Amino acid sequence: MDMTWFNDMEARIPTGEIRTRFAPSPTGYMHVGNLRTALYTWLIARHGGGKFILRIEDTDQGRLVEGATEVIYKTLKECGLDWDEGPDVGGPVGPYIQTQRRDLYAKYAQLLVEKGHAYYCFCEKAESAEDSGTFEKADDPCRDLSLAEAKARVEAGEPYVIRQRIPKGGQTTFHDAIFGSITVDNDTLDDQVLLKRDGLPTYNFANVVDDHLMGITHVVRGSEYLSSAPKYNLLYEGFGWAVPEYIHCSPVMRDAHNKMSKRHGDPSYEDLKEQGYLTGAILNYVTLLGWAPKGENSEREFFTLPELAEVFELAGVSKSPAIFDREKLNYFNAHYLREMSAEDFCAVAEPYLKQAIHAPQVDLKLVAPLVQGRCDTLLDIAPQVDFFDALPEYSNELYCHKKMKTDQANSLEALKVTLPVLEGLTEWSYDAIHDALVGLAEKLELKNGRIMWPVRTALSGKPVTPGGAVELCHILGKEETLERMQKGIEQLS
C-alpha cells in the first residue's frame, strides 16, 4: 500500500502544544453535561496556553436536527468559549466537519485492514443493534477470510462493513487522568464496526482518526465512554499512533439516581437563559459540578472565566457524579446579579421590567435599583414590580402591621392627613417627598412607620414591595400617587 498520502497527512499534524477539541453532534440543544465538557476542554487549553478546536461530528445523519449547529456556535460565543480552529475559522488540519472528511476515513479503515487490525465483513448484521449497545460478541466468519479473498468480494461489488479486529485473549490497559489505569479482558470487547456500508465512519472510528490527525493531546468526554476506551486504545496501537490523555468526567445528575435528561424536563443552557440566569453564573456553577479548585482557592466559589482558566487543573476533577442543584444555581445567580453595576443591571433587567410595566410615567431606571438586591433570577423581577403598572385589588388587612403599630383605623387617618401634604408639593422629587412625609410624622409626634406604611400599602396593594413609600411616590408620579391614596381612603372608609 502506497504510504505517501498517509505520510503527507502526518506531516500536517501540529505538535509541541496542548490541543483540545469540543466535538458536539448537531442533534439538538446544548445540555448542561455538554456545556461542562466544552468548558473543561476550553479551560485545559487556555490554562496550558494551547489551542481549543471546534469540530462538528455529523456522521450520524439520522439524528441531525436543523439549526442545531447554529445553536452550538451561538452558545459557545455567548459563553466566551472562543475557538482557535473550526469550521468557520479554518485551521491547518481542516475540514472541521466530519462529513466533509468522509473520503479519508475509508482510506484509514483500509490501512488498518492492511495492518491486520481490521477486516472486511459481509455478514448481514444490523449496525443499529451494535449502535444501541445490544450487540452480543460472537465469532464472525469474515474474520478468518484471507485478505485476498475479502478484497475480491469487495471488488465484485459485494456490500461490506469494516470491523475492528480485537485480539483474542489477553488484556488491554488504558490510563485516564481521573480514574487511573483500567484493565479489561479483550474477550469482553466486540469487533465493532469502523466503516458502515454507506461509507461513513462510526462515531468511535471517526473520533480516533480525527483526534490523531488534528493533533489532539487531551480528550475530554463523559464517563459513559470509559467502556469504549480499550477499543480506542487498540485502534491507536494498530495505527502506531500516540494515545492522547483521556479525561472521563462523571455524569451530571438530576438526583442521586437519575442522570439529567431533556426527556425529563431538565434544562439546557438555552432553557437556563430563558429562566432568567446569567451566562457568567451558569458557567461558574457548571464548572464546579465535578471540579473543585485546590490550594489557596479551595474555599473560593466565585470565578470569572479568565480566573477559571488561570486556576483550572485536572487534579480538581472528581470521580463522583455531580448533582445539579437548582437552589445552588440560584445562589450563584443572585450573587452575580448583586455584583453587577447599576447600569449593567438596568440593561439586563429592562426587558423584564417592560413585561410588567407599561405606564408611560414610570421611569424604569428608577425601578431597577429597587429589585437588584431582591432577585435570584431575572424572572423574579416582573412579579415584584407589576403594581407600578396597575394597582391590584387588595385586602384592608394589609394596612395592619404590628411592628409599625398600624391598623385600619389609624391608617385611614394617616392617609387623610398625608394626602393634602403631598397635594401641596410644588416639587415632586425624592427629597421633597421624603422631607414632607418625615416632617408630617414629626409634627404629629408619630413614628415614621405610622405614616409610611399606610402610604406604601395604598400605593402598592402588596404586603412586600421593593422600595418604601418615598420611592413609590417618586416613581409613580404625583397624579398616580394622589389617585391611589384617594382610592385607599375610600376603601378604608
Whether 159 shows a pLDDT value over 80: the answer reads yes
Q: Which three cell numbers stand for residue 417?
A: 392627613
Question: pLDDT tens across 421-443, in order?
Answer: 999 999 999 999 999 999 999 99
Q: How far is CA 271 from CA 279, 281, 285, 354, in A?
A: 12, 14, 15, 21
Kindly tell me if the per-residue pLDDT of 64 is higher than 90.
no
Closest by Cα among 46, 85, 48 to 215:
85
Please report, for the chain, how many H helices and E strands are present, in that order: 20, 11
- Confidence category of residue 130, pLDDT binned at 50, 70, 90: very low
Q: How far apart are CA 114 and CA 142, in angstroms?
A: 15
Q: In this predicted model, what pLDDT tens digit does every residue of 68-89 receive, in sequence order?
A: 899 999 999 999 999 999 999 9
Examine residue 24 and say whether the peptide bond preceding it is cis (omega within 30 degrees of 0): no
Give me 98's grid cell.
466530519
Q: How many Å is the maximal CA-CA distance in the chain?
A: 109
First CA to last CA across the chain, in angstroms? Answer: 100
Contact by Cβ (8 Å): 160, 296:
no
Share of the chain above pLDDT 90, in %: 88
Q: Tell whether the model's pLDDT for residue 259 goes beyond 90.
A: no
Catalytic center residues: 262
pLDDT tens, position by position, 311-338 = 999 999 999 999 999 999 999 999 999 9
**Strand 322-323, strand 252-253: pairing:** parallel
- The region that residue 485 occupies, defined by phi over 0 for left and psi between -120 and 50 for alpha, beta otherwise, is alpha
Rg for the chain, CA atoms, rounded: 32
Please give the C-alpha separations between residue 354 and each of 17, 276, 357, 368, in angstroms, as whole numbers.
49, 15, 5, 11
Confidence band for 138, pLDDT divided at 50, 70 and 90: low
Q: Are 392 and 469 in contact (CB under 8 A)?
A: no
Buried b (16+ CB within 10 A) or exposed e, 406-430: beeebbbebbeebbeebeeeeeeee
3-state secondary structure of 20: strand
Whether the predicted pLDDT of 378 surpasses 60 = yes
- What is the reported pTM? 0.92
Chain segment 180-209, per-residue pLDDT in tens: 999 999 999 999 999 999 988 998 999 999
Considering only 32-46, 192-206, 219-233, 253-267, which range has the smallest mean pLDDT?
A: 253-267
Nearest 5°: the CA angle 138, 139, 140 is 110
Q: Which helix (H) or strand (E) holds 247?
A: strand 245-249
112 pLDDT higher than 60: yes
Nearest to 457 by CA among 424, 403, 408, 389: 408
Mean pLDDT of 25-43: 91
